[in-house]
Amino acid sequence: MKIADTGSALREILKNAPAPRVLVPTMGAFHPGHLSLMQRARKIAGPGGTVVVSIFVNPIQFDRAADLDAYPRPMASDLAACETAGVDVVFAPTAESMYFPDRSVTVTETLLSRSLCGAARPGHFDGVCTVVLKLFLLTGCESAVFGEKDFQQLAVIRRMVRDLDVPVEIIPCPTLREADGLAMSSRNTRLIPEQRADAPRIRRALLAAATLGAPTEILAAARAAIETSPLARIDYLTIVDAETLQPVTELLRPAILATAVFYGEVRLIDHAMIAIG
């Protein structure tokens, strides 16, 4: 396994790397969900292709400095996990090597990013689109693997690829969960024991509410189930169209019940599909 810490070093390593090249963009702090993405990438690349994993805590997608500072960075264990998963190349740059001090170009998506995490975290998806496009260009990948846990990110990246004619296939992977239903996330390690024990209520609340009738009923039931806990603070709770991510008031098409919940300073996201008919 080779490691690059600058774009020029990465390009040199990949100069003669065999196709297909499959990228797994990450911010590190790996859990089994990340490993499932790497395993999927390895399967797509096959024994002769090249799997590239980026490990980069992207500063321009954080709206709160405290969240950026607190994000875990266990590089040694992350590299060991990549080795075990059969990754060929790890790209672990510094912010200084990724962004010029006077950078003035940002990639902005203006529709799908308006709601949900985009509304709650101004500038977040500008940072996501910008870094992902840079990673696509630096790696020359034919495909990239993303987890479905952050379904808005997946939708925004797909839209960017479509609208900018980026020749990269976006491959989704299902959300991995703990035995108690909590979606696996690097942020889970920051929960204190009482918060970790309570957090699975998010998934239970969404699944139970998603079976009800009208959107007002669904939202009221989910809110009540989450807010029963004094530890949980809802950032947003909404129903959006499964394709456009626009808010819906009638269930005429498949929709998503989505939430972000704070436990102290830790922000957890999850969602459940609402099937029609």
3-class state of residue 165 by DSSP: coil
- According to DSSP, the residues that pair with 102 across neighbouring strands are none
Q: What's residue 63's pLDDT?
A: 84
Annotation says 31 is catalytic: no
Angle of the 151-163 helix axis to the 124-139 helix axis, nearest 10: 60
pLDDT in tens, 244-254: 999 998 998 99
Q: What percent of the chain has pLDDT over 90?
A: 88
Give residue 277's pLDDT.
62
**213 has a pLDDT exceeding 90:** no
- What tens digit of pLDDT does each residue of 37-51 get? 999 999 999 999 999
- Mapped onto helix, strand or coil, the DSSP state of residue 45 is helix
10 and 98 Cβ atoms separated by less than 8 Å: no
pLDDT of residue 66: 85
Res 148 pLDDT > 90: yes
- pLDDT category of residue 125 using cuts at 50, 70 and 90: very high
Residue 90: pLDDT over 70: yes
Q: C-alpha angle 51/56/58, rounded to 5°? A: 135
Mean pLDDT across the chain, nearest whole number?
95
Per-residue pLDDT, averaged over 77-105, amounts to 97
* More confidently predicted of 253 and 160: 160
The identity of residue 275, as a single letter, is A
Q: Which CATH superfamily is domain 186-272 in?
A: Pantoate-beta-alanine ligase, C-terminal domain (3.30.1300.10)
User: What are the boundaries of each domain within the chain?
Assistant: 2-173, 186-272
Sign, CA dihedral 118-120-126-130, equals negative
Handedness of CA 128, 130, 131, 134 (dihedral sign): positive
pLDDT above 70: residue 264: yes
pLDDT of 111: 94
**How far apart (Å, rounded) are the C-alpha atoms in residues 197 and 228?**
14
Mean pLDDT of 236-258: 92
Model pLDDT, residue 64: 84
Q: From the CB of residue 22, how many other CB atoms can be counted at a distance below 10 Å? A: 30
Residue 268 and residue 237: Cα distance in Å, rounded?
12
Q: What is the DSSP letter of 234?
A: E
Longest alpha-carbon distance in the chain:
57
**In the chain, what percentage of residues exceed pLDDT 70?**
100
Region 118-137 average pLDDT: 95
Predicted confidence (pLDDT) per residue in 177-200, tens digit: 999 999 999 899 999 999 999 999
Which CATH superfamily is 2-173 part of?
Answer: HUPs (3.40.50.620)
Q: What is the DSSP string of 140-156?
A: T-SEEEEESSSHHHHHH
Write down the catalytic residue from 31, 34, 124, 271: 34
